[in-house]
Chains A and B, each alone.
Chain A
Amino acid sequence: MTDPHPLVRLDGVTKTFRTPPRGLFERAGSVVGLENATLEIGAGESVAIVGESGSGKTTLIRQMLGLSTPTSGTVHFAGREVRPRQDSLTWLRRRTGLVFQDPYSSFNPRRTIGQSVAESLEGSGTRGDHRAMVAAMLERVGLPADAASRYPHEFSGGERQRIALARALVHRPELLVGDEPVSALDVLVRSRVLALLAELRDEFGLTLVTITHDLGIVPRLAERTIVLHGGRIIEDGPTGKLLDSPDHPYTRELVASRLTLPDSTWRGEQRGS
């Protein structure tokens, strides 16, 4: 089945936030979080969204997922308009999954892992044997068989990000969005979670959108990179081209700020790990 529509389409999306008045007689101000963002993401693409804190990365994906209503502009998912005010968006929840940055605060400490993961199935109205689906997905992300009956505090940060992946994927969405999914993990754990993410993408044919401020992991995650700066999309293109010959001065600065290792560094016995 070929779909004539891109999976995600944003047309001129702007989001402004009100700021409280600073003094008693002053008026409330406003801050532009995202300015006139227009982009299309096709099914099966892997896209990284990079930029510094406050550049609008999270605001952009919140519009994509219908978690916030744009001030102006439109958002479409697979040709259908996303209208959070008028629509419960259950259809969109079924087709999308989200992984957050912080492995420690994204789970309810009083619910078992099984209950937390099953929330995605309930929220998306998925039918079937929830318990079996949860167990199968937890096993797929590499957790022990009894994980479903345990609580979040019993797991390490890396294990919790695996659980977060299970929760984001258990209802078999088409689009997986990660908001800094590995930046709170230490480098060794990060490497293993990134490898798992790539495996799952291929296995489930996912479209992947990942936010990161770390250019170092972008080549492992995405063929295409979008750079945000001050709420605007300033560059959008193939990851390799963007890292080798960035167009925008800000992207050049971002690429130059990457800490690199000297050329004489050990490169390992075999490529790929």
Chain B
Amino acid sequence: MNHLRDTAHESGAVSLEVENLRVAFGDTEIIHGVSFSLAAGERLGIIGGSGSGKTITALAIAGLLPAEARVSGSVRMNGQELIGLSDRELSPIRGERIAMVFQEPKTALSPFRKLGKQMTAALHLHYRLSRSERREAALRLARQVGLKDPERMVRAYPHEVSGGQRQRAAIAAAVSASPGLLLADEPTSALDTTVQRGILTLFTEITENNSCSLICITHDIAVVNKVADRVLVFADGGIVEQGTVQEILERPQHTITQSLIAAAGGAS
């Protein structure tokens, strides 16, 4: 299956430059000028409470906000400006270079299609695989994301497997076309702690093996500590603090950061 990789028009981790990003719905601005950068291959954590704007920012980067959202500012991926592109121009970029993993694997996957089919949907769209190629790709992906008993898993429907297995399948679908940026929104909040650790280790492996950048959004700073090198702290639609994970953990400046650390069991 490696020859498939070579045909991708572009590969490798991508970099991002976000400058003065603003998002408004009607007259209400909810993201107030966010600026940050992500180096190729870097793992960035975004933390904040509910409603702090972290998910909206990620959706704006991926171009997945509804049409009524007004997005301004600049998002450059490997130097190419994404804001202002039409859906048609954006679609190859979004599909091939940016992949998303959501919180709830049950709703991210279709209940009517076997996991193997869903894991290879993006690959099939791009490369028109034969039945046997597709099966082979599904098995390879299942092994890559650590699904035990891959033969059974690729033939199973989402309701037949556990939440952790569903999330692994959703991650397999996301990484199948070798994205340059993986955007994960609360990827482990719906999972048991024992399962959570395995999924986070998987993110680390994928970003290393596929030379892919990672943005992980969460309200749990312990998750950020496990997967990210650097962290942005969001509150009220803006970045209130940023730094390396170590800097933020040891010397949090903003009260929001301090309460996020306290809530994760830092100060008790």
Within 8 A of A (CB), among B181-220: 192-197, 200, 219-220
Q: Is the CB of A265 within 8 A of B266?
A: yes
How many angstroms between the C-alpha atoms of A260 and B224 in the bound complex? 11
User: What is the interface size of chain B, counting residues whose CB is below 8 A from a CB of the partner?
Assistant: 35
CB distance from A250 to the nearest CB of B (A): 9
How many angstroms between the C-alpha atoms of A228 and B240 in the bound complex? 41
Question: C-beta contact mask, A260-273 vs B, less than 8 Å → 1, else 0?
Answer: 11101111100111
Q: Is the CB of B225 within 8 A of A259?
A: yes
Within 8 A of B (CB), among A241-273: 253-254, 257-262, 264-268, 271-273
Residues of A within 8 A of B162 (CB): 53
Q: Is the CB of A254 within 8 A of B193?
A: yes
Interface centre among B194, B249, B252, B260 (most CB of A within 10 A): B194
Residues of A within 8 A of B193 (CB): 213-216, 254, 257-259
Residues of A within 8 A of B220 (CB): 187, 259
Closest 3 A/B residue pairs (Cβ): A268-B267, A259-B222, A187-B263
Interface set of B (CB-CB < 8 Å, partner A): 49-50, 162-163, 192-197, 200, 219-223, 225-226, 246, 249-252, 256, 258-268
A-B contact count (CB 8 A): 97
Is residue A132 within 8 Å, beta carbon to beta carbon, of the partner chain?
no
Question: In the complex, which residue of chain A has the Cβ closest to the Cβ of B245?
Answer: A262
Segment from A35-43, A123-131, A188-196 that makes contact with B: A188-196
Residues of B within 8 A of A202 (CB): none
CB distance from B49 to the nearest CB of A (A): 4
**Knowing A259-B196, A259-B226 touch, does A191 contact B263 (C-beta < 8 A)?**
yes
How many angstroms between the C-alpha atoms of A8 and B146 in the bound complex? 43
Select which of A157, A261, A273 is within 8 A of B225 by beta carbon.
A261
Question: In the complex, which residue of chain A has the Cβ closest to the Cβ of B256?
Answer: A188
Select which of A156, A186, A213, A264 is within 8 A of B250 by beta carbon.
A264
How many angstroms between the C-alpha atoms of A265 and B256 in the bound complex? 15
Residue contacts A-B, CB under 8 angstroms, 7 given: A52-B194, A259-B222, A259-B264, A262-B249, A266-B261, A267-B266, A267-B267
Q: Is the CB of B259 within 8 A of A188?
A: yes
Q: Is the CB of A187 within 8 A of B268?
A: no
Q: Is the CB of A266 within 8 A of B192?
A: no
